[in-house]
Amino acid sequence: MNNTKGQDKSTMLAIVRVAMLGGIVILGAVAIFLTKSGQVQPMADEILAPLRIAFVAILGIVVVTMFFFRKKRRALTTEDDPTTVNIIGWALGEAMAMFGAVILFLSGDLSYFFAGVVIMLVAFVFFPIPQE
């Protein structure tokens, strides 16, 4: 593979990761602003309880799936392109961060959002950008 082409691909993947993280940070900032300023009122706990349970259940599924794709990525040879596996891993982390942001919007509870962001950052570590 041409080294310049590999560097271009690495740059593109870095931009994708920054865009994913930037979108989540902006969404979280807006959610925090709206909930802390009182412009969005928290929903009743009866409505939020199933969402919180779903978050934990989906978190378990995402963690298992991330380990599966991490194992798949490690099994790739040097000639294989890990881009698709990386993007799937990053998307799993981003999904948890978005779900945490939804719970933040509905409840004002930051813990689910921060847990989602941590999972997203773990995905970035599990699925690094290949250096060619």
* pLDDT-above-70 percentage for the chain: 95
Decide if 58 contacts 97 (C-beta within 8 A).
Answer: no
Give the dihedral of Cα atoms 22, 24, 26, 28; nearest 10 deg.
-150
Given this model, what pLDDT does residue 119 score?
97
Cβ neighbours of 43 (radius 10 Å): 14
- Is pTM beyond 0.85 here? yes
Distance, CA of 122 to CA of 67 (rounded, Å) = 11
Q: What are the boundaries of each domain within the chain? A: 3-126
Cβ neighbours of 7 (radius 10 Å): 12
